Structure 1
Amino acid sequence: MSTDTPPLPAWYVISLRPRGQHGPMRRAATRCGGGIIALSPWRLQPLDDDGAQAGLQAALDAPRVLFTSPMAVRAAAMLQPLRPADGQQWFAVGAGTAAALRRAGAGEVAAPRRMDSEGLLALPGLQRLDGLKIGLVTAPGGRGTLAPALQARGGEVRRADVYRRISLAPSAHALAALRGLSRPAAVAVSSGEGLRLVMDALPADLAARVRSLPVIGASDRLLELAYALGFAHGHRAADARPASLVEAAASILG
């Protein structure tokens, strides 16, 4: 039996995804010859209280319904079936959220090619709303531009918070991996709130080291935030999918 150990990854992506959701990033990095350091800013907890159920029902009664993440879909589906009524239009922020809705039985869902809030807001069905009720299925915090933009277009937003983010301190394993990092690395960012939490939670020496790395942003807005937080080098990914973030990192690290 061979005792050869596998080679070390040639480079690393620092993954800021929620706890338990680093698998897609890890698999994408492995395919490209890289690895990841999992640095989770939070874990996700579905909500099942009376407020969440009532909020979801109100949101799903609206003529147009927006889902902001796959987790929003999964948490909503735990509360009640997701079946659009006749004449309703359902929207997803990106391909992953749309796929989750289809798996839940939602049928036809509109999603933008540009998978972020700006792309979602550019869809034809979300322009002049003129008093139309809009259901927004989401979590507290995050994507803070959506509701004000929809209201500015005349929409009456019915917000349903169906899960929450519970902040996490960096794990000892992640801190040790950052301190021992000896290969090229980049930081993959698909959430501005997540990036802020991680940078605030890191010890000063590691925060400075992470800021010296290139950041891979899922949108121009996220790159601008990274620069404001002290990052000097940024590159734009095609979208927020883990494979797209990894491909962008590989193009500069591989």
Structure 2
Amino acid sequence: MNSHAHVPDWTLVSLRPRGQHAPLRRAAEALGAQVIGLSPWALVARHDAGTRAALAQALGADRVVFSSPAAVHAAARLQPLQAPHAGTWLAVGAGTAAALRGHGVDDVVAPTRMDSEGLLDLPALAQLQGLRAALVTAPGGRGIIASTLQARGATLQRVDVYQRRALRLPPRQLQRLRHQAGPWVLAVSSAEALALLSEQLPADLLAQLRQAHVVAASERLAALATDAGFTRVTLAAGPLPAQLAQAAHAAVTTAATS
């Protein structure tokens, strides 16, 4: 029994990329959870000369947008990011901004609402006619950032500094989940990860997860989870590990005391 939280021990299912469960694990374990990592993908940085040259050009743009912490780290492997820059560098959220600061970039603009819509609401991206914009990212995603920057008049350069590689769900973790006592909470911070999970998960586990709690990092992800058949969806305050873990803990606490 999790006496600190006054709820039964609970399980958080993480869909973070392979090797990146630790921050969410720490946040959830501090709230009494056991964490099962089901990585449906891995992130693979690009190291080729063409990507390096494209990045060097992109970093001189008037507006440089980094889409994720992974994009920051992959870019930093290609070239140092600390050099002075004349343009405005923007991050999609606090985690991405922190990653840039960790690589020596102190002047970063980031939205309070940590998603694509929040980023695009920033004043620095409101008027882009005649400006050059760069998006440092990976293939896939909705493309709303790129399309909106272009619609606002920017000449856009997209640099994919890493890619997502789909993985087979780990059988050992699936077996562990199958025998794990509830309540379960699924943390969703990526539409692609949720889709890959739904495609691969055995029918019995998918049925159980659809009846479990889901915490979503954004309104868009909450809607996608509902559309995918998940019935107990809660919107977290944001995509940070602590925010997801706190929303998950609140969901099981409310269920246990109601």
Q: TM over 0.5, yes or no?
A: yes
Q: 1:69-218 to 2 correspondence within 5 Å?
A: 69-83=68-82, 85-218=84-217
Question: Could you tell me which residue of structure 2 aligns to residue 36 of structure 1?
Answer: 35
| SS of residue in 2 equivalent to 1:235 | strand
Q: Is the 2:215–2:247 Cα contact (8 Å) retained in structure 1?
A: yes
Rounded Cα–Cα distance in structure 2 between residues aligned with 1:69 and 1:33: 28
Question: Could you tell me which residue of structure 2 aligns to residue 47 of structure 1?
Answer: 46
Note the C-alpha offset of 1:195: 0.6
Q: Is the 2:59–2:85 Cα contact (8 Å) retained in structure 1?
A: no
Rounded Cα–Cα distance in structure 1 between residues aligned with 2:232 and 2:151: 34
Q: Is the 1:17–1:40 Cα contact (8 Å) retained in structure 2?
A: yes
Rounded Cα–Cα distance in structure 2 between residues aligned with 1:86 and 1:59: 11
After TM superposition, the structure 1 stretch with the greater mean CA deviation from structure 2, 140-149 or 237-246, is 140-149
Residues 182-229 of structure 1, C-alpha deviations (whole Å, 9 max, x = no match): 220111111111110111111222222211212111100001111111
Note the C-alpha offset of 1:91: 0.3
Question: Could you tell me which residue of structure 2 aligns to residue 232 of structure 1?
Answer: 231
Question: Could you tell me which residue of structure 2 aligns to residue 244 of structure 1?
Answer: 243
**Over the residues paired in the alignment, what is the CA RMSD in angstroms?**
1.3
Amino acid at match of 2:247: A
After TM superposition, the structure 1 stretch with the greater mean CA deviation from structure 2, 30-39 or 244-253, is 30-39
After TM superposition, the structure 1 stretch with the greater mean CA deviation from structure 2, 118-127 or 208-217, is 208-217
| SS of residue in 2 equivalent to 1:140 | coil
Question: Could you tell me which residue of structure 2 aligns to residue 24 of structure 1?
Answer: 23
Note the C-alpha offset of 1:86: 4.5
Q: Is the 2:184–2:209 Cα contact (8 Å) retained in structure 1?
A: no
Q: Is the 1:189–1:222 Cα contact (8 Å) retained in structure 2?
A: yes
Structure 1: gaps of 5 or more residues: 1-8
With normalisation by structure 2, the TM-score equals 0.91
| SS of residue in 1 equivalent to 2:96 | helix
Amino acid at match of 1:181: Q
Note the C-alpha offset of 1:103: 1.3
Rounded Cα–Cα distance in structure 1 between residues aligned with 2:251 and 2:212: 11
After TM superposition, the structure 1 stretch with the greater mean CA deviation from structure 2, 81-90 or 137-146, is 81-90
Q: Is the 2:15–2:39 Cα contact (8 Å) retained in structure 1?
A: yes
Note the C-alpha offset of 1:34: 1.0
Q: What is the total number of aligned residue pairs between the two structures?
A: 246
Note the C-alpha offset of 1:84: 5.6
Rounded Cα–Cα distance in structure 2 between residues aligned with 1:172 and 1:65: 40
Q: Is the 1:117–1:143 Cα contact (8 Å) retained in structure 2?
A: no
Question: Could you tell me which residue of structure 2 aligns to residue 5 of structure 1?
Answer: none
Q: Is the 1:55–1:161 Cα contact (8 Å) retained in structure 2?
A: no
- Alpha carbons of structure 1 residues 159 and 229: separation in structure 2 relative to 1, 3 Å: same
Amino acid at match of 2:120: L
Rounded Cα–Cα distance in structure 1 between residues aligned with 2:64 and 2:206: 39
Note the C-alpha offset of 1:74: 0.8
Note the C-alpha offset of 1:52: 1.3
Rounded Cα–Cα distance in structure 2 between residues aligned with 1:37 and 1:86: 41
Rounded Cα–Cα distance in structure 2 between residues aligned with 1:195 and 1:55: 31
Residues 109-154 of structure 1, C-alpha deviations (whole Å, 9 max, x = no match): 0011111111111111011211311110011112522111111211
Q: Is the 1:134–1:156 Cα contact (8 Å) retained in structure 2?
A: yes
